């Protein structure tokens, strides 16, 4: 039986969480933070997403709030009994002078699965966002499932980034070729939006031999990386994050 569930998080400037609503397989827990942000961890309460599931997480940092969201473990997309597609939506909103760090663990596309993931973020002009997405194409020794992801970010109501990626069976030809993944099975993106980039822009550069940092047409940078495995992908993105965002 397929599952439909939406979990919601709302953070206020005083560090409170007036809304922390778990639903279905998406269990939300307030966890201890080492910095000034309220921290919420997404804990999977059951195996999901399976084919046919429709899951969503909504996170809002209201004006002046500082919120960090992570997850306790990787999310594994698995096939359902009838081969139906699963959907997983992430909807983020960041208010004036607010900050949201969205740093979940990896998404693993298991063989035979079919998942459509959509992430949207709406930012106020003075909002800050740190967003990491990592896709692992297949578990150890297996081919990936079908995975389509789309990341759309709007700042002050105007488009900042709209990017769609497709992997696995049914994806456009060449997704695994030398010009795209070149045989790698881990791919990730790190997006940092910060009004300070208006005064201190960051230029494009390579990070290692399989990652690139590119400034966007706005106070933002996008890091795109591929790697042979999840561990090496995380190391590259962590290096990029440390160079872009002060610790704390």
pLDDT single digits (tens) 23-37: 989 999 999 987 789
Q: Per-residue pLDDT for 225 more than 90?
A: yes
Q: Supply the pTM of this predicted model.
A: 0.94
What confidence tens digit (pLDDT) does each residue in 136-151 have? Answer: 999 888 889 999 999 9
**CA–CA separation, 133 and 102 (whole Å):** 9
Q: What is the pLDDT of residue 49?
A: 85
Q: Per-residue pLDDT for 240 more than 80?
A: yes
5-19, 144-158, 169-183: which range is least confident on average? Answer: 169-183
Tokens describing residue 49: 């997403």
Percent of all residues in the chain with a pLDDT value above 90, rounded to a whole number? 75
Range 228-242 average pLDDT:
94
Residue 221 contacts residue 197 (beta carbons within 8 Å): yes
Q: What is the pLDDT of residue 217?
A: 87
**CA–CA separation, 171 and 168 (whole Å):** 6
Give the strand pairing for 19-21 and 4-11: antiparallel
**CA–CA separation, 146 and 166 (whole Å):** 8
**CA–CA separation, 68 and 225 (whole Å):** 23
Range 193-200 average pLDDT:
92
Which residues in 87-99 are b (16+ Cβ under 10 Å) and which e? bbbbbbbbbebbb
**CA–CA separation, 167 and 184 (whole Å):** 12
**CA–CA separation, 114 and 85 (whole Å):** 5
């Amino acid at each position: 039986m397929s599952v439909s569930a939406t979990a919601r998080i709302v953070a206020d400037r005083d560090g409170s969480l007036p809304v922390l609503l778990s639903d279905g397989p998406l269990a939300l827990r307030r966890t201890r933070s080492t910095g000034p942000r309220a921290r919420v961890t997404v804990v999977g309460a059951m195996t999901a997403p399976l084919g046919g599931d429709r899951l969503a997480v909504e996170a809002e940092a209201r004006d002046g709030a500082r919120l960090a969201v992570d997850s306790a473990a990787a999310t594994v997309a698995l096939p359902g009994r009838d081969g139906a597609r699963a959907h997983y939506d992430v909807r983020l909103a960041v208010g004036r002078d607010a900050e949201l760090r969205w740093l979940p663990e990896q998404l693993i596309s298991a063989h035979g699965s079919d998942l459509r993931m959509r992430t949207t973020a709406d930012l106020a002009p003075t909002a800050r966002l740190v967003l990491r997405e990592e896709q692992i194409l297949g578990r150890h020794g297996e081919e990936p499932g079908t995975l389509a992801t789309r990341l759309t970010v709007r700042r002050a109501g105007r488009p900042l980034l709209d990017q769609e990626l497709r992997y696995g069976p049914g994806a456009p030809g060449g997704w695994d070729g030398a010009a795209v993944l070149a045989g790698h099975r881990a791919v990730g993106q790190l997006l940092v939006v910060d009004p300070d980039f208006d005064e201190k822009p960051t230029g494009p550069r390579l990070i290692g031999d399989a990652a690139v940092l590119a400034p966007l047409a706005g106070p933002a940078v996008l890091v795109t990386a591929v790697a042979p495995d999840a561990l090496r992908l995380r190391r590259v993105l962590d290096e990029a994050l440390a160079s872009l965002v002060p610790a704390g």
